[in-house]
Structure 1
Amino acid sequence: MVRIDWGRETLNYTDEGTGTPILFLHGLGGNANNWLNQRRALADHHRVITLDLPGHGRSTGARVPFERYAEAAARVLDRINASNVSIVGLAMGARVGIALAHRAARRISHLTLVNAYLTLPPDEHEKRVALYDLLLQRDGARRWADTLLEGMGVADIPGIARGFVGSLDQIQPLHINRIFHEVDEIEQNNDLRDLDIPIQVMIGERDKLIPASSTEELLTMIRCPVIHRFPDSGHLPYLEEPASFNSALDAFIHS
């Protein structure tokens, strides 16, 4: 990984391959290594960039507010002088991608939102708040992880479940809880409506975290969305069906 300074913080990222650049943005609590399958498969014909967002992975910045995450991603793009960039973001990373595409429209060519939402129905919102507030409880991180794995529809996939539970010692529960609430409160409806670039929405149909109503609401905010559904995947289709995921992404970028 490459390390660069960003104010008082350091950001870690990877930059592999040549061709059309793709920036992958992980979800809350994740890191750049979540995209290993994409890095290995796509770097043959793309410039593949992955980033540890602030306070995640090897990047510092646990006190950085979520509203500055797009600024951090832009710093990396500035450093590597990348333009005509396709962004792929999972959940929280999708929200970063929307903000980045809005603030740096001239350098972004495509945006792929993976299992993303902007708002939840009240009952689902209460469940999500209760889930992330488990992180504030003594020994709550394991209960949070088990509940999240079930919601993501991947609890029955041993490799993914083991990896997720094994990464618990790398997260800071208070940090993850705080960022969840900041993402939950930020308003991006108008930012998404303003985007005038091709936008693809990838949907894992076994994902129990994102209600269908939230997905439909998201789609109404996008001009001519490209929709790709994964009937056999949950929240993490890039891990569950990497070949299909990569193929759909490649087709979208080159359509």
Structure 2
Amino acid sequence: MIRFDDQGSGPPIVLLPGLAATSRVFDGTVRDLSRDHRVITLELPGHGDRTDPADDTPATVSGAAGALHTLLDRLGVTEATLLGWSLGATVAYAYLERFGRKHVRALVSVDQSPRLVLDRDWPHAAFGALDEDGARDLARGVTADFAAFTANLVGGSFAAGTEPAAEAHGLLVSEALRCDPVAVRSLLADVTGQDWRERLPLVTSSLPTLFVHGARSRVYPTALGRWLGDTLPSARLEVFDSSGHLPFLEEPERFLRTVRAFTAHDKEPTP
């Protein structure tokens, strides 16, 4: 079974990390939210030094969603908010499509696109220009030179025009290198082949949903937030003006206020 942490008490919130990242990227988020929430974090398949070598969860989005369902069943969690960052958000979408609202009361999707590759009517691809050939090359690069892949991925995750704090940058790189390159490649190949543009409105129908996007994201540099706001008008959109792909690290205080306000459903988040 995929390893997890379970801290705090109160309304449950489940944190799902992104590709080539471990739950340690959420350390500061967990410390703060666990003061008044039950915070559960888990690793993606093949990710992190806490991953059980005996775990045979497929390194796919569906495999991760199934592992999440098994975990929530085991823990007896109900009425959880799923908070997925990047690929972790796609895992949350897949969970909702496969299992419905069982265990879930709300969704927070952090800087993720419903489709990661370009097509004729879709400009909101990863890095603004990832096409199908580029996606295949990117996946091959994971196992060809994992250190270079992770360095580029981490370096491009911070806001455009900024110099990342050495501590945050170092943590992301060191945790990325704890992941299994084969699992990372498998997950990347899987997610770049998926298209949630029509499916996302269906899985979030009547579900309280918050989209968080970084205005200076180099991973999703186009007007993706605007598309989400137009396509899912009942959802809430919060754009973080000083953030890239990592608003929970780049604007942590606002991120925590926003998540708390959303989970409480009692006031609007403040800038």
Counterpart pick for 2:168 among 139, 145, 160: 160
Q: CA deviation at 1:168?
A: 4.2
Residue range with higher mean Cα deviation, 72-81 or 10-19: 10-19
- Counterpart AA for 2:143: L
Q: CA deviation at 1:235?
A: 0.8
Instruction: Say whether residues 1:184 and 2:192 are aligned partners.
Output: yes
Counterpart pick for 2:93 among 86, 95, 98: 98
SS at match of 1:110: strand
- Counterpart AA for 1:143: A
Q: 1:13 to 1:199 in 2, by over 3 A?
A: same
Instruction: Say whether residues 1:208 and 2:218 are aligned partners.
Output: yes
Aligned length: 244
Q: CA deviation at 1:55?
A: 1.5
Give the 5 Å matches for 1:98-137: 98-102=93-97, 103-119=99-115, 120-122=117-119, 124-126=129-131, 127=134, 129-137=136-144
Counterpart pick for 1:42 among 33, 53, 57: 33
**Any stretches of 5+ residues in structure 1 without a counterpart?**
1-9
1: CA distance between counterparts of 2:135 and 2:168?
Answer: 21
2: CA distance between counterparts of 1:141 and 1:205?
Answer: 28
1: CA distance between counterparts of 2:189 and 2:231?
Answer: 23
Any idea what the Cα deviations from partners look like across 1:89-116, whole Å, max 9, x if unmatched?
A: 0010000111223323143111010001
Counterpart pick for 1:145 among 146, 150, 165: 150
Contact 1:70 1:96 in 2 (8 A): yes
What percentage of residue pairs aligned between the two structures are identical? 24
Contact 1:17 1:46 in 2 (8 A): yes
- Counterpart AA for 1:151: G
Counterpart pick for 2:74 among 57, 67, 79: 79
Contact 2:215 2:239 in 1 (8 A): yes
**Any stretches of 5+ residues in structure 2 without a counterpart?**
120-127, 266-271
Q: CA deviation at 1:53?
A: 2.1
Contact 2:112 2:220 in 1 (8 A): yes
1: CA distance between counterparts of 2:214 and 2:28?
Answer: 17
- Counterpart AA for 1:134: G
Any idea what the Cα deviations from partners look like across 1:106-163, whole Å, max 9, x if unmatched?
A: 43111010001012435712355544432232xx223222322332126532112212
1: CA distance between counterparts of 2:260 and 2:186?
Answer: 34
What's 1:52 paired with?
A: 43
- Counterpart AA for 1:227: L
Q: Which has the higher strand share?
A: 1
